[in-house]
Structure 1
Amino acid sequence: METWSPTISGDTGPKYRAIVKALAEDIRSGRLPPGARLPPQRALAKQLNVDLTTVTRAFNEARRTGLINATTGRGSFVRGHAPNPTEIRRPDPSGSVDFSMNMPPQPIVARLAERMETGLSRLAGSPGFLDRMQYQDSAGNMADRAAAAQWLGRRLGPLPVHRVLVGGGAQVVLAAVLAVIFKPGDALCVPALTYPGLRMAAERRGIRLVPVACDEDGLDPEAFLESCKADRPRALYVVPTLDNPTTVTLPMARREQIAEVARSHGVAIIEDDAYGALPPDAPAPIASLAGDITWHVATLSKCVSPGLRIAYVAVPGTNEAVRLAAELRAINMMASPLTAALASQWIADGELDAIVAAIRQENGLRQAVVRETLQGLAVRAHPYGHHLWLRLPELWRRGEFGAHARQLGLSVVVSDAFSVGPAPEAIRISLGAASDAETLRYGLSLLATLLAHPPGAITTVV
């Protein structure tokens, strides 16, 4: 692939940016596969008839944004199978790496800033734009609900618009769903390790959380059955695909068993499908099996960007939609009409699919870095996810490890944040906030080094 020749003649911006843009497009299209070696900078400059400094600046920008890796004496490679560094290097003076915020990465190939600029410009020039800037129905206007039904329908099957609502992020929607279903003191079944945002919302409403045992395949249907008999819960909360924090995806057979148990005991299901759009082969959502008892919540924050703050929810029926709309109005009035309109436009023209595909690809590249740097450790991960679950070696306790990690400028989330009951010696590591591959590799390598030493040897590690 050292004969790679980017096309930059039609680009009116700076030439170094045109090279980076062409590189990103060729990576996204597959023309440049992971591990491909790029031409030497001097040869590429001669080929393109530009200054060497232009190519150098382009390669530096591509490396900074995580498109390529470069090793002195070996050349530049498309990320994925580039040579490993032989030592931990600090990528910036601060040395801090955030592994705590569970957000999708924002790779340059997603062209998020460019797509937002273009999309907002189109919206501003469209008929009725000023109407979009007024107060909207708390369930979302009909155009946005139709777009939401189209997006959800790809995995759930055809959905009537009156069963689909638009909310200002999953946290708002989950709080509203809890308000519709529960009274203080009611029981909610949750996995023994569960999403902290759900825990917080439930505890604020005085809802009693009932932990349900899980195994390697996720929530145990037999344990759920026993909880239904003993605790008479009003609902079950579950993240069926790429569970947060464990990364487990429930097999299809288990989803069917859970739906059957819930239906036979009159228990609603709150299906938090935050990551369902990421794996190309994810099993069908529970709502596709039991839509009449399932509240299906799908946020764009975990598969596109937290800045959109848009979540779609499919409810069991018309009555539930009316009640949920009232709660959404009380909690948050409405989702942002501007970001809702942008998301609808992206669904219609395929831009949302392209962004998700780019993030899926980036997650795969970052998971390759995980496999390289955390070999031999008890890591559970998914090839298309942007978080992982790590069981600590016996020599470490979670609180102590978290404190030592902070001393090194690394922020992780210990298992206490997720545990409903006794907490295991484990941490969640989120991969999306790291700005590029070099930063991610540095942080993970430092974590691996820390894990390999007993707590008393920490000063030696530093």
Structure 2
Amino acid sequence: MQDTESSRTESSRTAPLAPVPFDPASTPDWIGPLDRAAGPLYAQILAALEDAVARGVLRPGERLPTQRALAEQLQVDLTTVTRAYSEARHRGLIDAVTGRGSFIPGGSGAAVPALDLSMLMPPPPRGLSLGALVERGLASLLARSNADVLMAYHIGPGAAPDRLAATQWLEPALGAVDPRRVVITPGTQPALAALLSMLAEPGEVILAEPETYPGFLAASAALHLTVAPVACDAQGLEPEALARACETLKPRALYVQPTIQNPTTRTMPPARRHEIAAVASAYRLTVIEDDPYSRLIDQPALALAALLPESAYHVATLAKCLTPGLRTAFVTVPQREDPERLAAALRALTLMPAPLMSALATRWIATGTATHLLGAIRREARERQHLARALLPAGSHAHPDGLHVWQPLPARWDSARLIEAARRQGLGIMPAEAFSVDGTARQAVRIALGAVADRARLAEALGGLAALIEGKEERSGARG
């Protein structure tokens, strides 16, 4: 069914756009006037709902107006509100209960925490509107491109302009790279699944840090690969431990995150990177370097792939330093590798990246929008790390430019119990078990700082979690 809101917008392009009629006396206090000139109305409703949840205007368990009632109050089509509520359910902002209506999660029977410290994503950039950047970027892109071409199938490692833009984006950490070595992918997850399927057969060994990215663990499990942990110290992988693992396990590859490691936040200093590269070279070990965070650092250390151009794959997503919505990651293959091989493996999984999103990412890089957005995200991330240092208990680990904190727990807490106690208070966090390679994770949790939109609400969440960890609340539930 065609959204009549879209039809109205199409038919009114030649006439001035007027604000939607607004009656403050009959409209919920979490939403203000809508304006057809400001973009799709459903998106404005969704944004207002998301903001109200983040600011606590809408509390866990609170019931929302019915779709029909809200449509009448806002003087918009029912399909507009239906679309907004549907997307809100998809994002976990609301729960729908048959016969009762829609509610904010976190109340009785709700499953989603109101304050999400579990999802690792960039914080909202203060002073910038992502919606406005997307709108301007697409307008600029469509003014210079053929829409029919952008909306067609694009099979292969990527369009030449996209691959060139990728090398410009990667240069601070990777150095100068031939664009023909780059493959454009629809995010890190399919890239890792494709690489693992290329490099190893079921039952073969992939080495990794003891706690690592759950998406890598999920892809390895789906492919029936054996993941073996390599010991780490404060500087990252231990070279001697890596050498022993190569001797005894005969691994097919090493998966590693040298910069702001997820979840522990460790960052390998340059000297350690050279040591790890020397071991990998000596054992002819293929390296998959997952590098989502280097661009958050003003002057990142040289990537492992720059030290191992013949044997390392470098994977860099835009999801953690710009926005997950671009669904774009860049994989740089070793010098002697044919990028078509990876492109073929990706086709079996996802066919292709969305050409429109790849082109938008390229446009943002070319015009400087990506760098401008990155700067705003860096500043906000640093402010949030400052909050975390001030509010969380002593002993936490973090990088000053990172998006998360690794928080060890005192002996009184078992991480599973803490997760449940935090959930009862409307807080979502990730336990160490989610990252463990061998199931023997430490008692710790990962705290993500970007998903809570409002900084004041983030401070409230961090303060509440700190009180819980320190035993100031939920004491009875903390004892073993």
The question of a shared fold, defined as TM-score above 0.5 by the shorter chain, is answered with yes
1:399 maps to a residue whose letter is: A
> CA–CA distance in 2 between the matches of 1:397 and 1:127?
55
> CA–CA distance in 1 between the matches of 2:263 and 2:454?
23
Q: 1:93 aligns with which of 51, 59, 64?
A: 59
Contact conserved, 2:203 with 2:224, CA < 8 A, in 1?
yes
- Equivalent position of 2:432 in the other structure: 415
- Equivalent position of 1:57 in the other structure: none
Query: CA separation of 1:396/1:162 partners in 2, compared to 1, >3 Å: closer, same or farther?
Result: same
- Equivalent position of 2:246 in the other structure: 228
Query: CA separation of 1:408/1:243 partners in 2, compared to 1, >3 Å: closer, same or farther?
Result: same
- Equivalent position of 2:342 in the other structure: 324
- Equivalent position of 2:124 in the other structure: 106
SS across alignment from 1:394: coil
SS across alignment from 1:178: helix
Deviations 1:413-448 (A, max 9, x none): 000000112110000000100111111011111001
Contact conserved, 1:176 with 1:331, CA < 8 A, in 2?
yes
1:155 deviates by: 2.5
For the pair 1:201 / 2:248, whether they are aligned, the reply is: no
Contact conserved, 2:432 with 2:443, CA < 8 A, in 1?
yes
2:251 maps to a residue whose letter is: P
Contact conserved, 1:90 with 1:442, CA < 8 A, in 2?
no
SS across alignment from 1:438: helix
For the pair 1:214 / 2:232, whether they are aligned, the reply is: yes
1:117 maps to a residue whose letter is: E
Contact conserved, 1:110 with 1:359, CA < 8 A, in 2?
no
Contact conserved, 2:125 with 2:373, CA < 8 A, in 1?
no
Contact conserved, 2:421 with 2:477, CA < 8 A, in 1?
no
Query: CA separation of 1:110/1:229 partners in 2, compared to 1, >3 Å: closer, same or farther?
Result: farther
Instruction: List gaps (5 residues or longer) in structure 2.
Output: 1-47, 61-105, 107-113
SS across alignment from 2:265: coil
- Equivalent position of 1:449 in the other structure: 467
For the pair 1:378 / 2:395, whether they are aligned, the reply is: yes
Instruction: List gaps (5 residues or longer) in structure 1.
Output: 1-60, 66-88
Contact conserved, 1:163 with 1:318, CA < 8 A, in 2?
no
1:108 deviates by: 3.4
Contact conserved, 1:148 with 1:165, CA < 8 A, in 2?
no
1:154 deviates by: 3.4
- Equivalent position of 2:415 in the other structure: 398
- Equivalent position of 2:196 in the other structure: 178
Contact conserved, 1:295 with 1:316, CA < 8 A, in 2?
yes
Query: CA separation of 1:220/1:92 partners in 2, compared to 1, >3 Å: closer, same or farther?
Result: farther
1:107 deviates by: 2.1
Alignment of 1:43-58 (within 5 A): none
SS across alignment from 2:118: coil
Contact conserved, 2:172 with 2:295, CA < 8 A, in 1?
no
Query: CA separation of 1:457/1:141 partners in 2, compared to 1, >3 Å: closer, same or farther?
Result: same
Deviations 1:252-303 (A, max 9, x none): 1111111110111111010000111001132111111111111000000000
SS across alignment from 1:110: coil
For the pair 1:129 / 2:95, whether they are aligned, the reply is: no
> CA–CA distance in 1 between the matches of 2:426 and 2:163?
43
1:384 deviates by: 0.9
SS across alignment from 2:296: coil
Q: Give the structure-1-normalised TM-score.
A: 0.78
Q: 2:452 aligns with which of 422, 431, 434?
A: 434
> CA–CA distance in 2 between the matches of 1:300 and 1:125?
24
Query: CA separation of 1:181/1:239 partners in 2, compared to 1, >3 Å: closer, same or farther?
Result: same
SS across alignment from 1:237: strand
For the pair 1:387 / 2:353, whether they are aligned, the reply is: no
Alignment of 1:323-342 (within 5 A): 323-342=341-360
Q: Give the structure-2-normalised TM-score.
A: 0.75
> CA–CA distance in 2 between the matches of 1:91 and 1:261?
55
Alignment of 1:6-405 (within 5 A): 93-94=59-60, 96-317=114-335, 319-374=337-392, 376-405=393-422
Higher mean Cα deviation, 267-276 or 132-141?
A: 132-141
Query: CA separation of 1:455/1:231 partners in 2, compared to 1, >3 Å: closer, same or farther?
Result: farther
> CA–CA distance in 1 between the matches of 2:255 and 2:263?
14
Query: CA separation of 1:127/1:408 partners in 2, compared to 1, >3 Å: closer, same or farther?
Result: closer
> CA–CA distance in 1 between the matches of 2:385 and 2:173?
25
> CA–CA distance in 2 between the matches of 1:361 and 1:454?
32
1:316 maps to a residue whose letter is: P
> CA–CA distance in 1 between the matches of 2:337 and 2:312?
14
Q: How many residues align?
A: 376
> CA–CA distance in 2 between the matches of 1:219 and 1:318?
26
